Amino acid sequence: MTAPFSFKLQAKHGEARLGEISTPRGTIRTPAFMPVGTAATVKAIFPDNVKATGADVILSNTYHLMLRPGAERIAQLGGLHRFMRWDRPILTDSGGYQVMSLSQLRTVTERGVTFRSHIDGASHELTPERSIEVQNLLGADIQMQFDECTPFPATYAEAERSMQLSLRWAERSLAAFRDYAQPGRALFGIVQGSIYPELRAQSSAALTSMDFNGYSIGGLAVGEGQKAMFETLSCTATFLPETKPRYLMGVGTPSDIVGAVERGVDMFDCVMPTRSGRHGQAFTWGGKLNMRNAAHIEDMRPLDEASDCPAARDYSRAYIHHLLRAGEYLAPMILSWANVHFYQDLMAAIRQSIRDGSFAELAARIRNAYPSTAAASDEDSPPSAAASPARVDDT
C-alpha cells in the first residue's frame, strides 16, 4: 500500500512543516494548496493555465462525478486524468460531505447513505465500498475514506456517535481500497470529533493504528469560526504521526492557511479562489479587492503589481471592472486565474520561508493583508462566501 507513494519531511520551523509527497504522477510540494475541480474542471480556467500557476495537484469530487457523467463512463473513457487533460496527481474526496450537505432526502445507516440526486432526484446509495470503487474508477492518486462530516454545532454525544460511525466506515474503506486500488495510489483516513479534544484524540488514535497513507482533518470550516478551528487543529496535530501528510479539508482564506501551517498542516483545498473570482473579488499581495467597486473605473494599474501571473499583470483594473459591469465571461476567467496563481505564490512563499526560517515574518504579513474572517468587510466578500462556510463545492 505504501510504495511508490511516500512523504518526506524535509524541514520544520516551529510546527510548520516543509516536505514532499511522491506519487507515480509527480511530486507534491508541501505545504500545498489544491485548486478545486469539482466536476472535472477548475472553473473558468484552462488546465494548462492551472498547471502554469504552479499547482502540483488538484481536487475532484466523487459525489458529483458519480452522478454525472458517471464513474464507469469516465473509466471507459480512460480515467479522469485523460478525461480532463490533467497529467499531475488528483485527490478525490469521498462524497460523504456532499451527500450530507446537498441531498435534502437522505437516510444514514450502518451500511451507508441512501439519497436522492440534487440533479434529477434519482435514488442512489453510497457506502464505504462504493465510494472507494468510484474513486478507483476515476483513477484518483490520493483517495479519502468514506466518512460522515459531523455538522456544527453538535453535542458531545452527537459528535461521538458520528465519529465512531466514521471509524467503522474507515475500516471498511481500507478493506475496499486493498481490493480495488492499483499500486501507487494512496488512501487517507479522516479525523472527526467536532471541536472536542477527547474525541479528536480517540479518532486519531484509531485511524493511526490502521496505518493510512495520510490523515485528513475533517469537520472544520463548517461554521465554528477561526479561533475554534485553530484550537482544534492545535490539539489534533499532536495526535498524528510526523511521518505522514496532514490534510485540512476545505480551508481556506490566506490567514486560515498560514495559521494552519503554523499548527503542522501540509495540504489544503478550497473553492475560494475561483468562487471569489466569479463574484468579482481578487486576492493580491496587498489584500482583497472588490473589482466591482467604482474606485477601479479609471484605474489603469494592473490587478497586482507584485505578481508575474499574466492575468494579474497584463490587464488593468479599469478593464476588469468594465468586464464585470458588462457581464462579460472574461472577467471571472481573468480573476479566477489570478486568484489561483496568488494562492500558489502564497504556498511557494510559505515553503521558502520555512526553508530559510522567515515563516513568522511572512505569516505576520499575510495576517496584516488578510485579517480574520470575522473582521473582514462585507463589501470585500462575495455573497456566497459571506453567507456560508468555506467547506463547500465549486458549483
Place of cell 484509531: 206
pLDDT at 215 over 70: yes
Mean pLDDT, residues 55-64 = 97
Between CA 331 and CA 191 the distance in angstroms is: 38
Q: What is the DSSP string of 75-95?
A: HHTT-HHHHHT--S-EEEE-S
DSSP 8-state symbol, 378: G
pLDDT at 67 over 50: yes
Looking at 56, 147, 269, 394, which residue is catalytic? 269
Q: Are 143 and 132 in contact (CB under 8 A)?
A: yes
CA 329 to chain CA centroid, Å, is 25
pLDDT at 1 over 50: no
pLDDT the model gives residue 379: 33
pLDDT at 222 over 50: yes
Q: What is the DSSP string of 168-212?
A: HHHHHHHHHHHHHPPTT-EEEEEE--TT-HHHHHHHHHHHHHHT-
**Terminal Cα distance for the chain, rounded:** 33
Can you list the pairs that 314-317 forms with residues at least 24 positions away whose Cβ atoms lie under 8 Å? 317/289, 317/291
- Dig out the grid coordinates for 287 from the structure: 489584500
| Residue among 40, 38, 94 at smallest CA distance from 247 | 94
pLDDT the model gives residue 376: 36
CATH 3.20.20.70 fits 6-270, yes or no: no
pLDDT band at 12 (very low <50, low <70, confident <90, very high): very high
Between CA 362 and CA 350 the distance in angstroms is: 7
Kind and range of the H or E element at 137? helix 128-138
pLDDT at 384 over 50: no
Buried b or exposed e, range 256-269, using 16+ CB within 10 angstroms: bbbbbbbbbbbbbb
Place of cell 463548517: 222
Between CA 260 and CA 296 the distance in angstroms is: 33
Looking at 56, 93, 266, 393, which residue is catalytic? 93
Between CA 64 and CA 150 the distance in angstroms is: 20
Between CA 89 and CA 267 the distance in angstroms is: 13
- Dig out the grid coordinates for 113 from the structure: 447513505
pLDDT the model gives residue 375: 36
pLDDT at 307 over 70: yes
3-class DSSP state of 109: coil
pLDDT the model gives residue 372: 84
Between CA 229 and CA 372 the distance in angstroms is: 12
pLDDT band at 392 (very low <50, low <70, confident <90, very high): low
Mean pLDDT, residues 138-163 = 96
Assess whether 269 carries a catalytic annotation. Answer: yes
Report the mean per-residue pLDDT for the chain.
93
Mean pLDDT, residues 22-33 = 98
3-class DSSP state of 31: coil
Mean pLDDT, residues 239-267 = 98
pLDDT the model gives residue 218: 96
pLDDT at 374 over 50: no
pLDDT at 78 over 80: yes
Q: 84-107: per-residue pLDDT in tens?
A: 999 999 999 999 888 777 766 789
pLDDT the model gives residue 103: 60
- Dig out the grid coordinates for 359 from the structure: 515563516
Domain ranges of the chain: 6-270, 276-386
The pTM assigned to this predicted structure is: 0.94
